[in-house]
Amino acid sequence: MNIAVYPGSFDPITNGHLDIIERASKTFDQVIVGILVNPDKKGLFSIEERERLIERVIKHIPNARVESFSGLLVNFMKERDIKVIIKGLRAVSDFEYEFQMALMNKKLNPNIETLFMMTDAKYSFLSSSSVKQVAMFGGSINGLVPDEIIEDVMYRMHNK
């Protein structure tokens, strides 16, 4: 089976992320959305909450599921026999960081390939941090995150 992992922080998942998951699920038998557990970084949502939010918005994609991992991505992949990492590229500015990570992962495990998908142009400006800023200062996040989670983000932003 051809399995890919789509790793990230997803704090919270955006429409840009969802677009990549939907497209990757058409190319791979299974897509695992891998949430990085980063003990040094307190997010807006806990890992369990992020998992639940993602589960809610990927319900319509039968071959996508969500898991969380800590430590090295390559170890998570090895345990599950996953060989492909999917990443979204929004702009040239993403490239340097992503290139560095792809090469490091390749160094750690030469059997792993990182495949990049171009983010849909309409989401090229979108990131979880910009969503948080807009929500924090009272702007509308309609169209930026999936409709099903708008209320959760707005509520959490104003009731931390």
Return the CA Rg of the chain. Answer: 15
> Which residues sit at the interface with ligand PNS, rule CB under 6 A?
7-9, 36, 72-73, 101, 104-105
d(CA 75, CA 158): 37
Q: Identify the active-site residue in 41, 42, 60, 160.
A: 41
Contact call for residues 33 and 54 (beta carbons, < 8 A):
yes
| Backbone φ and ψ of 36, nearest 5° | -75, 125
d(CA 118, CA 59): 23
Q: Which is nearer to ligand PNS, 129 or 140 (CB)?
A: 129
Q: How far is the CB of 158 from ligand PNS (least distance, A)?
A: 24
17 is catalytic: yes
106 is catalytic: no
Q: Which is nearer to ligand PNS, 74 or 157 (CB)?
A: 74
Q: Identify the active-site residue in 25, 50, 87, 90.
A: 90
Q: How far is the CB of 116 from ligand PNS (least distance, A)?
A: 13
Q: Which is nearer to ligand PNS, 36 or 159 (CB)?
A: 36
First-to-last alpha carbon distance for the chain, in angstroms, is 42
- Annotated catalytic residues are 17, 41, 90, 128
